[in-house]
């Protein structure tokens, strides 16, 4: 397509979307009166106005105008269990019947903590309300443990609303002293680490760049970071907020990497607010309140019973290690099927990812870093998103999807066919 043809196609797709959703449009107008842009979560916005869901069950959604969709987005990886898993819902309800806000320790946090430590190879863990908080606390722990201040991060990395490096540090980021390296650039990252060996407290890195487009780390990249952090005395912090669903013990287990600290979040709360950071006891015990001069860690809802109970039920009764292996393999298989469809159609698109998380990119060139996809035309992804909506499938406007356990084989087969129709 020419630029003019693409502009016209996007304009027509947006008009079709708006025409079929008058109630959604009216709700957006109401929202504009009380929220900037009618929005309180930036990633959910898309023009001409965002989708508004009124009901969700299993892997299905209904919008305000009554249109049904198969949900391939999976709440940006937090909705692993689907929208109505009975095991998780029953655990939540049972915990709430005991009393919701107790202002005290409960048995639920102990049971979940033991489960998380065993599952992800942590010696100690502490809970937070989100992955953002988990990463903030991990950085605080690393700086306190090392007595250093700098943090090495990677271009395209996303570690929460105040730790975003999509196009360099965000203006709303927490004011950390950061060094930004290129993802999958072993030589550049290790050189930067050695140059600042006396100042870097930790390296914060995702085993797969999630928000930047499901770009996996290449063989040897994380291992090199592990070696140089040990050499320089910096801590290696793996952000597995998204990737912990990949296999039984997250991507660190698959890749054989032992970080000093791991951050977690998303699906582990069973659909409720959740985050966690943990790892080496020598670092985590700095938070032991029985010790003189212990580091503080507040949070009214850190151990809220809904997240604790749902998290335990999900990890032990729903997403068992065997299920985690099967779901990861299922995602890998779907990604290969989509790649074949795109290739057969000669589409200017590709799909990257690991396991049950993946993303479309509007380029056929190799995508090793966020910069590799930056020159691609975003209008192609918008057209794919809007076309799939009209066929009854919901993915992220940026082309991201995360499979839930609630999806059945027939729905995935239909999705592959819908992608084929969209790119034909």
Known catalytic residues are: 158, 239, 266
Count Cα neighbours of 224 within 13 Å in the Cβ-side half-sphere. Answer: 17
Parallel, antiparallel, or unpaired: how do β-strands 178-181 and 150-154 relate? parallel
The helix (H) or strand (E) run that includes residue 237 is: strand 235-239
- Please report where in the chains the tokens 């900037």 appear, as a residue: 36
How far is it, in rounded angstroms, from Cα 380 to Cα 346? 14
Residue 13 in tokens: 């797709």
Residue 245 in tokens: 């669903």
Q: Where are the beta strands (DSSP E) in 291-406?
A: 350-354, 357-361, 393-394, 400-402
**HEC profile of 270-322:** ECECCEEEEECHHHHHHHCCCCCCCCCCCCCCCCCHHHHHHHHHHHHHHCCHH
How far is it, in rounded angstroms, from Cα 345 to Cα 359? 18
How far is it, in rounded angstroms, from Cα 25 to Cα 29? 6
**HEC profile of 89-121:** HHHHHHHHHCCCCCCCCCHHHHHHHHHHHHHHC
C-alpha triplet 47, 157, 189: angle, nearest 5°: 150
């Amino acid at each position: 397509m020419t630029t003019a043809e693409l502009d016209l196609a996007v304009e027509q797709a947006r008009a079709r979307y708006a025409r079929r959703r008058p109630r959604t449009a009216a709700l957006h107008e109401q929202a504009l009166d009380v929220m900037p842009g009618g929005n309180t979560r930036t990633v959910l916005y898309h023009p001409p106005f965002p989708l508004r869901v009124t009901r969700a069950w299993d892997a299905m959604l209904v919008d305000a105008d009554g249109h049904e969709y198969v949900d391939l987005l999976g709440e940006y990886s937090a909705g692993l269990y689907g929208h109505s898993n009975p095991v998780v819902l029953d655990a939540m309800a049972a915990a709430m019947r005991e009393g919701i806000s107790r202002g005290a320790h409960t048995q639920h946090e102990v049971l979940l903590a033991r489960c998380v430590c065993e599952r992800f190879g942590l010696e100690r863990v502490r809970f937070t309300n989100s992955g953002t908080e988990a990463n903030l606390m991990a950085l605080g722990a690393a700086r306190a443990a090392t007595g250093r201040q700098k943090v090495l991060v990677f271009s395209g990395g996303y570690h929460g609303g105040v730790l975003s490096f999509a196009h360099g540090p965000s203006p709303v980021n927490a004011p950390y002293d950061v060094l930004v390296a290129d993802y999958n650039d072993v030589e550049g990252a290790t050189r930067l680490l050695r140059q600042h060996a006396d100042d870097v407290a930790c390296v914060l890195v995702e085993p797969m760049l999630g928000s930047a487009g499901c770009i996996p780390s290449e063989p040897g990249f994380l291992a090199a970071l592990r070696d140089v952090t040990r050499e320089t005395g910096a801590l290696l912090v793996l952000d597995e907020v998204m990737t912990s669903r990949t296999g039984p013990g997250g991507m660190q287990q698959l890749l054989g990497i032992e970080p000093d600290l791991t951050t977690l979040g998303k699906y582990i709360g069973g659909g409720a607010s959740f985050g966690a950071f943990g790892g080496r006891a020598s670092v985590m015990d700095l938070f032991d309140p029985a010790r003189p001069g212990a580091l503080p860690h507040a949070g009214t809802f850190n151990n809220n019973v809904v997240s604790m109970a749902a998290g335990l039920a999900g990890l032990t009764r729903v997403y068992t290690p065997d299920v985690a292996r099967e779901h990861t393999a299922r995602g890998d298989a779907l990604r290969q099927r989509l790649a074949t469809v795109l290739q057969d159609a000669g589409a200017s698109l590709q799909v990257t990812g690991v396991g049950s998380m993946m993303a479309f990119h509007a380029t056929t060139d190799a995508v090793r870093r966020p910069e590799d996809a930056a020159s691609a035309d975003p209008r192609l992804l918008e057209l794919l998103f809007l076309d799939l909506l009209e066929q009854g499938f919901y993915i992220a406007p940026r082309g991201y999807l995360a499979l839930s356990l609630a999806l059945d084989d027939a729905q995935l087969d239909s999705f592959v066919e819908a992608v084929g129709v969209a790119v034909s």
